[in-house]
Structure 1
C-alpha cells in the first residue's frame, strides 16, 4: 500500500517537472492526456475526470426558469415575434 502512494507522488513530481506544452502544437488537451497516459496513468485519470466536468454548474431548468424573472406572466403569453419587437 505504501509503495503505491510513493509511485503516485513520483508520477506527479515527474509531470510537474515536464516542460509546458506549446498550445500551437497541441490541438486538444484531452488528446494530450490520452497520448501521455502511459507516462502518467494516475494523473491522466484525474485530469480526464476533471476536464470532463461540464463548464457550467447551472442546471438547464434553472437557466430557463430565469426567463420568468425577465418576462412577466402577461408578456409570456405573447408570440416570439411580439417579444422580439418589444425587447430587442
Structure 2
C-alpha cells in the first residue's frame, strides 16, 4: 500500500489517495476509523502533469488537488 497524497481537513481528520496494487482509492481518515469513499479509475491518474510528491515512493504522481478535481468533474451529476 502506498499513500500518494493526503489533504488534512482538521485535527485528526484527512482525506487521502492511496494505491493498493494496481487499484487507487479515495479514503477518509479519522482518529478512530478509515472509510473508503471511492475507487479512482486508473485513467484518472495518468502521466500528464506528473509532479514530485512529499511521500517517499510516490514520486511522479499528480498532486491531490488535480486528482480530486479530475475525479469529481468526471462523476459530477448535471443538475
Bigger helix fraction? 1
Whose strand fraction is larger, Structure 1's or Structure 2's?
2
The answer, yes or no, to whether TM exceeds 0.5 is no
> Shorter-chain TM-score: which interval?
under 0.3
TM-score by length of 1: 0.22
Bigger Rg, structure 1 or 2 = 1
